[in-house]
Amino acid sequence: MLQKLRKKLTLLYTLITGLILTAVVIILALFFGQADRRQQEALFSNYLMAITNKLQHDSRISQSWLASMEQTNGLIIHICEKNQPLLYAGGSPGATNRSTLIERARQQALLEGIDLTFPPVSTDLTRSSLFSVAGDYGDTYQASALIVSARNSSFSLILLRDVTESSQRLFRTHLLFFLADAVGILLLALANWRLVGASLTPIRINEEKQHAFIAAASHELRSPLAVIGASADAICARSGDPVHFARNIKAECSRMSRLVQDLLLLAAAKSNAWSLTRERLDMDTLLLNLYERYEPLFVSCNLHLKLELPADSLPAVFGDGEQISHILSVFLDNGMTYAPKGTAVTLSVTRQKAALVCAVADHGPGIPEAEKERVFDTFYQTDRSRKEKQHFGLGLSVARELAQLLGGRVRLTDTPGGGCTFLLELTVE
């Protein structure tokens, strides 16, 4: 599913960015083409003006000057005085015959209403627009025709300039633009593929966690249901002590109830549907009440629970007392599960700058450094904890969610001498 989504998003992003890139390339190509065309037109106009000035102001035009102009600038210059061509044969810079090109230019001028056989009537100069003349072999020419009155005579001029090379150069430039556009779109596709992949990574991780969560929850729920079912079958068969089997059912129902409660707490925290009661809390009283509730349970497990409070009264904390007690209860349950028989578990609190740090320290087997952060993940269990039915891998994740809702945080450190110390940091008023 994610792979299909990645392909679709990559295609969509590439299409959008590719269209933008193509639009930019087209604009640049058009701008470059217009700039080149203006440059070519300005250059042609300069040549036309120079020859026209020569006709108007010089008494004679030398053939050497005409030959130099043609050869240097790729021109075809055809001048007639009173419909009589000058005695200048000239040449052709392109492959097409010179006379053919001149005749095509003459016909184009006629289409604009300019007949080179008649002198200008209302002005001294009549000029056609700048137009294009195509040769027979793919060669292209800029062209213009004019009639000018000068020195009591009239002259007609047809000027052509070979722009085949510049047209080919412009075509190659446009081709290069669009090749760059194609390469750019390909690179955008690769970049978008990686970007979409990176953006979907958290979704993929959450999906994997969700699958693991469902699998682990199903496994944990199946175990008490199996015990309940077996005990119920035994009661129905009236074999053995029914009170023993009833106790099994009650214990497993209690176990399942805790698991379901933790699942509901997690779901509420994840969906931000939890409403907390925020009030001023006396942490001395809260910790004493928690100690009194848990001390008999530790004694029944052959463990000793110690409470260490500072000599001075603790500063007040603004928060939800029930949820703070729940977090510390998770830590105490964890200590009661893993602390070796006959050892002590310590519940303590210290003041650190603007925070109160509540700690539950045991002297159990401890947790490797690489797993310290992961123990707060939902249903995460180390190898040894998988052997304990009472530990579902939910309590610590619930504690972390609750701490975040309260504006605090939970963390894990090593107990001096071995073991785990779970810490809850809360901001004081």
8 A C-beta contact, residue 69 and residue 162: no
What's the full length of the chain, in residues? 429
Indicate the pLDDT class of residue 91, thresholds 50, 70 and 90.
confident
Q: Which amino acid is at 81?
A: E
Find the mean pLDDT for residues 73-98. Answer: 86
By C-alpha distance, which of 311, 316, 329 is closest to 426? 316
**Do 426 and 352 meet the contact criterion of CB atoms below 8 Å apart?**
no
Q: Which residues does residue 306 pair with via DSSP β-bridges, in sequence order?
A: 346
Burial code (b: 16+ CB inside 10 Å, e: under 16) for 205-241 equals: eeeeeeeebeebbeebbeebeebbeebeebbeeeeee
Q: Which residues are paired to 331 by β-bridges?
A: none
Helices (H), 74-150: 98-111
* Token pair in block for residue 41: 């037109």
pTM of the predicted model as reported, rounded to 2 decimal places: 0.50
Q: What average pLDDT does the segment 158-166 reach?
A: 92
Domain 279-427: give its CATH superfamily.
Answer: Histidine kinase-like ATPase, C-terminal domain (3.30.565.10)
- The structure tokens listed for 310 are 């500072």
Closest CA to 286 of 384, 413, 388, 424: 424
Average pLDDT for residues 335-357, to the nearest whole number? 90
Quick one: pLDDT at residue 395?
A: 78
pLDDT of 45-74, one tens digit each?
999 999 998 888 887 888 889 889 999 999
pLDDT category of residue 307 using cuts at 50, 70 and 90? very high
For Cα atoms 255, 217, 225, give the angle at the middle one, nearest 5 degrees: 45
Name which of 415, 303, 299, 323 is nearest 365 in CA terms. 415
